[in-house]
Structure 1
Amino acid sequence: MRFMRLGEPGAEVPVVSDGDVVWDLRSLTADLDGAFFASGGLERAEVAAAAGELAGFDGSGMRVGAPIARPAAVICIGMNYAAHARESGSQPPSDIVVFYKHPNTVIGPYDDIMIPPGSATTDWEVELAVVIGRRARYLASPEEALAHIAGYTIANDVSERDYQLERSGGQWSKGKSFETFNPLGPWLLPAGQVGDGSGLRLWSTVNGQPRQDSTTSDLIFNVAQIVYRLSQFTVLEPGDLINTGTPEGVALSGRFPYLENGDIVELGIDRLGEQRATMRAATA
């Protein structure tokens, strides 16, 4: 079952779909948020849909929003594919590299992405995104970590490389937190339908030309290890979003041009759908 939010920003309606029929979830929850995930909402919704207890919903022509309400935290893992580390001029890390994005970077999967004023180094990054379903602190093992995941979706960890690397002051978040820099969705697939997140093909194109093409089996630190390691130094709350890293094939490699006004960025992950965004020049 696919969990989605349809409607204009700030007025999205939570729904669930089997790929054909769409059901309204407002009889169960006001939104797809941490409280819903922590209370077993995904499972309750699937049971209610199967039992015919949910009203149908006609979302034809409606905007597709991010599949979760604005998270309290967007935690990102850097350099988590060896080939991407090499193209970035870095050695593969011995432990997870962590940075944060502002939660207000999260937008829908088809919304425009705004290029910051004066930017000539805005880049794309397709990533498997993890949504936390249960509070996680000081977990005992990676195996235990999987039980704390609500589901998976697609993120584009858009990056402004000059701010990330040259103006960073030693940290990356400055180049990661511009408005619209985290398109998410189109849907959330419950963890029980995806498993540990391995073996999923992920890809990206710019103006129809191939850029990234890899599989989540190539993650240096897999999903379970990421959640486990994060829990050793931060408390993960239901509804928190984790971007797990991007494979090689970004503009930072020097093999491709950076994004410009009017470019079309498309990306996808097996079973999790596809995104399509138009780059637009932001005005101050």
Structure 2
Amino acid sequence: MPRTVAVAADRIGWEERRLIAAAPAFGLRLEWVNDESMCLGHPDAPALSGYDALLVRSRSYTRGGLVATLAEAASVRTLNTARAIRTCQNKAALRTALRSAGIPVPDFRLVLSRTDFERALKELPLPLVLKPVFGGMGKRVTLLRHADTAASVYDYVEDLGHAFEQACLVEPYLGDTSVRCLVVGDEIAGAAEFTGGGEFTGGAADWRTNAALGNRARAVAHDPELRKILDSVVSELGPGIYGVDLFRTPEGHVVNEVNHAPGFRALDAATGADIPSSVARHLREALA
């Protein structure tokens, strides 16, 4: 009898279809549960009745943590854990947790007002990156090249309707190349380097390094320094399924972000790694 895992998501995308297809070979059955219709809160979580575990793949930066928290309260085995998801969803909280654990992260300033923004511009050298605390897929990430235009850029942040959307980080621009590592359990399932449009060349569609934006990608080796950093990330967040984004600096790699429900289509194409099987194997081991 296969163990059944609910996949919480707002829709079934390429990654979810691959995961569902890989599951039977590992004695599992994955079924989509729409995260918009679970109506959690009842102590017994009726929407999750009959499932052995919940795999949270919500793309929303509000739903994932809420769904995981209420599922765990109903004693449903949840992957990733609610604590890990909540930490990953909040870039300021993630950076602080990692830095406190001795894991290298980029310098940053939390910006909640124009006063914060102006002070950050004085404390950090241009070029800088302005990004939302809550968000993903490279959305609303802005490169600030010149001080005389930065204030105008911040006008758009101030015009956003909710403080949730206005919370931002300002950080140094660390170049147009990043490394994405897909961690499953405590192992690296695949690693690739993504390259954007070049620092200031204007020769490509986008300067941002993000797999969701269609950047160029190539597989990279799992070198010892990378392995050590990723082990530390897993030690802090707990074993799980993470997309860890890093930048190379003269001092070594720094962890930029950790995605709790990572896409892996571009990584799959660049590395040829069988990521769905790695995830299914991890789920089977978690349910053993």
| TM-score, normalised via structure 1 length | 0.30
Q: Which has the higher contact order (CA 8 A, sep 6+)?
A: 1
Asked which structure has the greater CA Rg, the reply is 2
| TM-score, normalised via structure 2 length | 0.30
- More helix as a share of residues: 2
